[in-house]
Amino acid sequence: MKKVLTIVAVASAMALVVGTGSAVNAAPKALKIELISKGETHEFWQAVKKGAMDQAAKMGNVTVRFQGPANETMLDKQLEMLDGAIATKPDAIGYASLGTTEPLKHLAAANKKGIPVYMFDTAAKCKGKLGVKSNCALGVAYTNSKASAALAADKMAALLGAAGGKVLVVGHTQTNQTGTDRRDGFVNRVKAKYPKITLLEVQYAEGGDQTKAQDIVAAALVANKDLKGVFGTNEGVAIGAGQAFKAAGLANGAVKLIGYDSGALQIANIKSGLQQGAITQSPLGIGAKTVEALVNYVRNKKVPAPLIDTGFYYYDATNIDKPEIKGNLYQ
C-alpha cells in the first residue's frame, strides 16, 4: 500500500510540474535593458522604440527603458543619460551615438563594469574591431547610410535624365557619422557616375531644423535659377525644402526633391507630387535587432555579428502603398 501511495505521489508531482510548466518551461531570466537613443520625441525614434518594445515582449521577461535627448544636437545631455544608465547596472545597454570619439570613455566604463553594449543606428568611432574583445561595443545594428544615399543619387540622376544639372545637398549634421555618411554616399556616387550633374556646395541645417533647411533652399533657388534637384539627408530637411518650394510657387517637379526617412508630411508631399521620393530605413527593425542581439548575448552567450544591416528602400508615389514599403513608414 505504501508503495502504491508513493507512486501516486510521484505521478501527481510530475503532473503538477508539467501542468504548471515551472520546470519544463521555466520562465526566462528577467533582464533589464537600457536603450539610449539620439532622440525620443521624433517619430523615427518612436518607431525604433516600438520595435524594441515589441521584441522585448516577444522574447519574454525583458524590461526596456528607452530614452534620448530632446533633439539630436544635445550630445552632453545624451552622455549624462548614458552615465545614468550605467549607474543602474542593467544587464545590457543599447546606444545610438550622437558623437564620434566623445562617448568612448563612457562606453569603456560600461565595459569595465561588465555591462555589454550594442550600438544602434549610429556607431561611435571605437578603436579596433567591434566584438567581445572590444572595450567599446559588441557591434552595431544600422542602416548602410552610404549605400542608401548612393541609391538616392541614382534615383536623382534618373529623374534629371541625360541633361543633368545643378543639385544641392542639404545635410542635417556635420559631425554625426550617420549624417556625414549620407552626405558622402550621395556626393561620391554623383562624382563617380554622373558627370552631367553639378553639385553645389553642401549646406547644413543642424539637427534637421526645418526652418533652417527652408531658408537654405530658398536662398539656393534665388541664387541658382537653374537649380534642378535637392537631396535632404533627413526628414526635417526634406520637409523644409518642400516648404521652400511651396513659398517660391514652384510647379511640382520643377525642381526634383529626394528626402530621407518618412513622417506624415513627407509622405503627403510625395503623394501630392511636391517631392519625388525618399529613402526609408527600417526603424522597427533597428529597435528589434538591437534588443534581440543583447538578449541572446546575455541569456544564451550568442555573440552577435559586429554589423547587422537592417536594410533600406527607396519609395515614391508608385510603390508607397506596397507592403514592404508601407511597413517601414512611420506617420
| pTM for this entry | 0.79
Average pLDDT of the residues in 20-27: 55
* Banded model confidence at residue 25, pLDDT cuts 50, 70, 90: low
CA neighbor of 165 nearest in space, from 195, 202, 191 = 195
Whether residue 155 has pLDDT greater than 80 = yes
**Contact (Cβ atoms closer than 8 angstroms) between residue 193 and residue 164:** no
Residues 33-91: tens digit of each pLDDT: 999 999 998 888 999 999 999 999 999 999 999 999 998 999 999 999 999 999 999 99
Residue position matching grid coordinates 543619387: 153
Whether residue 1 has pLDDT greater than 90 = no
What φ, ψ does residue 305 adopt, rounded to 5°?
A: -65, 145
CA neighbor of 128 nearest in space, from 120, 119, 139 = 139
Residue type, 288: A
Of residues 49 and 4, more confidence is placed in 49
Q: Which CATH superfamily is domain 145-281 in?
A: Response regulator (3.40.50.2300)
At 203 the three-state DSSP class reads strand
Average pLDDT of the residues in 220-225: 98
Quick one: pLDDT at residue 258?
98
Residues sharing a CB contact under 8 Å with residue 113, sequence separation 6 or more, in sequence order: 86, 89
Question: What torsion, rounded to 10 degrees, do the Cα atoms 88, 94, 96, 100 define?
Answer: 80
Quick one: pLDDT at residue 27?
79
Domain ranges for the chain: 31-143+282-310, 145-281
Distance CA 143, CA 27 (A): 33
Average pLDDT of the residues in 139-151: 97
Residue 128: CB atoms within 10 A of its CB come to 9
For the domain spanning 31-143+282-310, the CATH number is 3.40.50.2300
Per-residue burial over 41-59, b if 16 or more Cβ lie within 10 Å, else e, is: ebbbbbbbbbbbbebbeeb
Q: Give percent above pLDDT 90 in the chain.
A: 85
Residues sharing a CB contact under 8 Å with residue 255, sequence separation 6 or more, in sequence order: 221, 227, 228, 229, 230, 245
Residues 169-216: tens digit of each pLDDT: 999 999 888 999 999 999 999 999 999 999 999 999 999 999 999 999
Phi-psi region of 28 (alpha: psi -120 to 50; beta: other; left: phi over 0): beta
Residue 200: CB atoms within 10 A of its CB come to 16
Range in 42-51, 92-101, 223-232, 306-315 the model is least confident about? 42-51
Distances (CA, A) of 325 to 71, 154, 166, 330: 27, 19, 29, 10
CA neighbor of 230 nearest in space, from 190, 257, 206 = 257
Residue 316: CB atoms within 10 A of its CB come to 17
Helix (H) or strand (E) holding 286: helix 283-300
